[in-house]
Amino acid sequence: MPQATRAGDVLAERYRLVDLLSESGGGRFWRAHDRVLERHVALHVIAADDPRADGLLAAARRSATVLDQRILRVLDAERVGDYCFVVNEWGQGTSLDIMLASNGPLSPRRGAWLVGEVADSVATAHAHGIAHGLLSPENVLLDQAGSVRIIGFCVDAALHGLPQGDPHADVVDLAGLLHATLTGRWAGVSPSDVPRAPESSGRVLRPRQVRAGVPRALDDLCDELLNPRGQRQREPRDPGSARGVATVLAQFVGDPTGLGEAIAAGNPERHETVTLPAVPDIPLRPHPDDWQPPPEPEPTPEPAPEPVPVPEPQPERPTEAGLPIFDDENDEVSWLRAREQKPPPPPPFEEPPERPLFASEPRRPRHPSADLGPVVARGDEYWPFDREQPPHGPLAEDPSETDDHVPGRSWLRLAALVAIALLLVVAVAIAFNLGRGRTPLGTEPRDGDSTPSATPSASASAPALTAYTGVTATDFDPEGDDGSERPEDVGNVVDGDPDTSWTTLTYYQQFGAAGLKDGVGVVLDLGESRDVRQVDLSVVGRTGVSVYVLDTAPTTVDGLTPAATGQVGRSGGAAAGRISLPEAATGRYVLVWLTSLPAADGGFRGEMVDAVVRG
């Protein structure tokens, strides 16, 4: 620039520069004060001979044609002297990058609403053939009223020397904004100070791989736009267009009432005092009708005179407790004089003796006399058992009667009742076990034991199960990209070799509602329809399994009911497990569906050594 602009400078005799917000290659973005309309504005300024000057003015003209309340409008664009500048409406609020840095990712519904508002405005601009060009988190603002505002439409890209915006790049940036609200990581094509989203094999990780709990609809939308699988013609409401993104997000959000206010309430309030630099202005002359004489100074109050202490009268005779003394020569006041010797303190109180825990209480007379009056207990008879002689009154013990009360007898009776109840419970348990043909302790009798039994043993009545041979195995991954899960190793589960196995891929999230998949599995082909009662599995690590018995080869598990479910294996190594079906099922295909995998190498991976079907 010909000479450096600084805070306090005035451009076009109207815009006073206040705060320098950013700078890019000699182009500067200021907060300025419009001295005509007395308001803050956003001002982009570069040198008049800068190669970007023509592009900046052209971008301002394009941006001014887009009428949308969420886009900060272009108010002025001019080339004056050595400078070329564009003036935009000023937005007061918190940008998305600061919001993510302060509070972390948004909830899925709030993030979808915010990006949906941006997508709706961008779709309006795309309908006129105009793209933003630099749709980063720094250019998305949430004002104090909870409304979304878009900064630097067309102008910011021109100030950074970027070519005219591409609508497709805006759509990718919309997916990047959605990814950022869900994970706090930026995945768009425009430059941003928000940390980049992680990638694997040249593909951006889906939001559900970065943060758990992301709804599948939003996860699929981000993956489709950030990791395209091929070129195809986009329809106006296709998710690959800005209008399509806005439609998908609006359907996900539903009623958006109160979402903007809720997000704004969670942002930290930033109370900032703007101090404009001192610039000499022409002093304004007051209007004659408004002139008032200066107020007269108030008179200084005189100091109050200090109070003179009044001496207290000294009584001729001593007094105590403020009692009045009258001048009577015949009055005797010796009783009022202070004593030279203090009286001795009273004797200390004696604590009553503690009563023993099992002290015997005095018996009441069995035939109380009707003519006995009220009895007053004496102080020395507080505890009657502490004296050798019986107390007086109707509570006195009859010496002619024998004291048959034994301390603690009630506790002995309670203990006896508890013991009898326990013996009764033990007797009932022994009788119950003997009635079932077991030992008194409930265990199965040995061969030499002679325990009466009314029915034959379960082992004699249950039919022997047969392990089916000639079984073939196929991998099953209906939710994968190519529908396969290590097909080259799946035959190891039926070869009978404990040294070979089939291993799943390593997943960063566990299967289930919060993961990328509900599960993977192996389809065992029995060759023909057979009865299935049991599946023996040898796996590595604790694994969740569901068993399906089907007449046809499965293509999905949606709508199918498992014949049995359970957990097999143990942590720390390979172990055999058994899934028994409650009822025999008939079918040719047995699907062993893994619903949870053990932890391995920072993720989750399953390993199946052998699978045997019995019926």
Say if 128 falls within a structural domain.
yes
Domain end: 70, 89, 108, which one? 89
pLDDT given at position 276: 38
> Residue 313 — pLDDT band, cuts 50, 70, 90?
low
Task: Mark whether 119 and 248 lie in a shared domain.
Answer: yes
CA distance 106 to 182: 6
Query: What average pLDDT score do residues 422-451 get?
Result: 71
The number of CA neighbours under 13 Å toward the Cβ of 53 is 15
**81-97 pLDDT tens trace:** 889 999 999 988 999 99
E strands present in 264-409: none
Task: Mark whether 85 and 147 lie in a shared domain.
Answer: no
Task: Mark whether 114 and 204 lie in a shared domain.
Answer: yes
pLDDT given at position 335: 46
Buried b (16+ CB within 10 A) or exposed e, 267-294: beeeeeeeeeeeeeeeeeeeeeeeeeee
Say if 342 falls within a structural domain.
no
Other CB atoms within 10 Å distance of the CB of residue 244: 20
Q: Burial-class residue 55 by CB neighbours within 10 Å (0-12, 13-18, 19+).
A: buried
Listed in sequence order, the residues at least 6 apart from 199 whose beta carbon sits closer than 8 Å to its beta carbon are 205
- Give the domain range for residue 27: 9-89
Task: Mark whether 104 and 207 lie in a shared domain.
Answer: yes
pLDDT given at position 610: 94
The number of CA neighbours under 13 Å toward the Cβ of 394 is 13
Q: Give me the CATH number covering residue 525.
A: 2.60.120.260
Query: What average pLDDT score do residues 14-23 get?
Result: 91
For the chain, the average pLDDT equals 80
Say if 519 falls within a structural domain.
yes
**169-191 pLDDT tens trace:** 999 999 999 999 999 999 999 99
What's the DSSP call for residue 257? T
Say if 129 falls within a structural domain.
yes
Say if 47 falls within a structural domain.
yes
Strand pairing class (574-596; 15-24):
unpaired
Q: Give me the CATH number covering residue 191.
A: 1.10.510.10
Of 506, 468, 475, 505, the residue nearest 489 (C-alpha): 475
What's the DSSP call for residue 440? T
Overall size of the chain counted in residues: 615
**381-405 pLDDT tens trace:** 444 444 444 444 444 444 444 445 5
Task: Mark whether 526 and 580 lie in a shared domain.
Answer: yes
Which of helix, strand or coil describes residue 259? Answer: helix
Number of domains in the chain: 3
Angle at 17 between CA 12 and CA 20, to 5 degrees: 135
CA distance 581 to 567: 13
Say if 514 falls within a structural domain.
yes
Listed in sequence order, the residues at least 6 apart from 52 whose beta carbon sits closer than 8 Å to its beta carbon are 27, 46, 158, 159, 161
Q: Do residues 542 and 508 make contact, with C-beta atoms less than 8 angstroms apart?
A: no
Is residue 352 scored above 70 in pLDDT?
Answer: no
pLDDT given at position 338: 54
Task: Mark whether 70 and 85 lie in a shared domain.
Answer: yes
Q: Give me the CATH number covering residue 38.
A: 3.30.200.20
Task: Mark whether 83 and 111 lie in a shared domain.
Answer: no
CA distance 219 to 227: 12
Task: Mark whether 198 and 250 lie in a shared domain.
Answer: yes
Domain end: 65, 89, 113, which one? 89
Task: Mark whether 76 and 216 lie in a shared domain.
Answer: no
> Residue 53 — pLDDT band, cuts 50, 70, 90?
very high
Task: Mark whether 504 and 588 lie in a shared domain.
Answer: yes
Say if 272 falls within a structural domain.
no
Domain end: 69, 89, 109, which one? 89
CA distance 202 to 530: 47
Q: Which of 27-36, 307-316, 337-346, 434-443 has the highest mean pLDDT?
A: 27-36
Say if 75 falls within a structural domain.
yes
Task: Mark whether 491 and 594 lie in a shared domain.
Answer: yes
Task: Mark whether 78 and 195 lie in a shared domain.
Answer: no
